[in-house]
Amino acid sequence: MLVESTAGDSEVERRILEGGLTNVADGVLLSALTLPASDISAKRPDFPLVMLGEHSVGDQFPRVGIDNVEAARTAVEHLLEQGCRWIVALGRNGSENGRQRTEGYEQAMSAARVRRVNWLVVPVEDWTRDQGYAAVRDLLEGDGPLPDAIFAFNDALAVGALRALDASGVRVPGDVAVVGIDAIQESAYTHPPLTSVAPDLDAIAERSLALLEEQMQPPGGPEDASSGEDAQAGAVVAAPQETTPYRLVVRESSRRAPVRE
């Protein structure tokens, strides 16, 4: 087993997608964070590959991950249930993840009949602590009113947001509630502990490895025979697109009212 961090570098992700690890690996599980969907869809690797996460890659590759739009909507619905209305969406960028999480935010706000305010959708270049800190600091120093909640598109942004709020003397959650996505280990130890959407990592691991193993099976079985018939008929067989569970872990950063079970 080889683990390689791409650090969100699209060139590293492209190299892996083009077979850069196949000289040392039998198959690849790839979480493409920044590679454009158009680049991914143009590739047709000849090695076993499963995409991880919420990045939309079309249906030619097997993919395992949570429903990104629904997870974002769940996070925002929780803030709405806590009485928040001026909710910042922190993290919009050019990525597919960013688009989907913005969509989930907008769905929740629309369903609650909360008017969309453009300045509450805050763009960042990268989903990092530094970017979260800088974006929230700029927001607090601006001329607009203080929002009453921040939905950060990942926990790293949320950690930076918490630091900026603390440095400005803003109370969390009394003045501003904060929610993230990923439920990284650090989120349980921030001040205050961070509410976050937690993907079922065990389910993602089990299903992605099972899909990878299926691609590694020797040819000649009944499934291969039917696939061959489809290919001869010119049919395009869609790869499995599997959605795994998630849950909202409610902690002190957003807890203003009793949480509905």
CA–CA separation, 234 vs 257, rounded Å?
Answer: 57
* pLDDT of res. 225: 45
* pLDDT of res. 233: 47
In 3D, which of 80, 46, 71 has the Cα closest to residue 61?
Answer: 46
> pLDDT tens digits, residue range 50-100?
988 866 666 677 889 999 999 999 999 999 999 999 999 999 987 788 899
What tokens appear for 187 in the block? 């989120």
What would you report as the CA-atom Rg of the chain, rounded to the nearest whole angstrom? Answer: 20
Q: pTM of the entire structure?
A: 0.84
Q: How far is CA 76 from CA 132, 151, 243, in A?
A: 18, 7, 20
CA–CA separation, 37 vs 33, rounded Å?
Answer: 10
CA–CA separation, 258 vs 40, rounded Å?
Answer: 44
* pLDDT of res. 44: 65
* pLDDT of res. 228: 47
* pLDDT of res. 137: 97
Supply the DSSP string of 170-188, one letter for each residue: --TTTT-EEEEES--GGGG
> pLDDT tens digits, residue range 6-49?
776 778 877 777 777 767 778 888 887 766 666 665 566 678 88
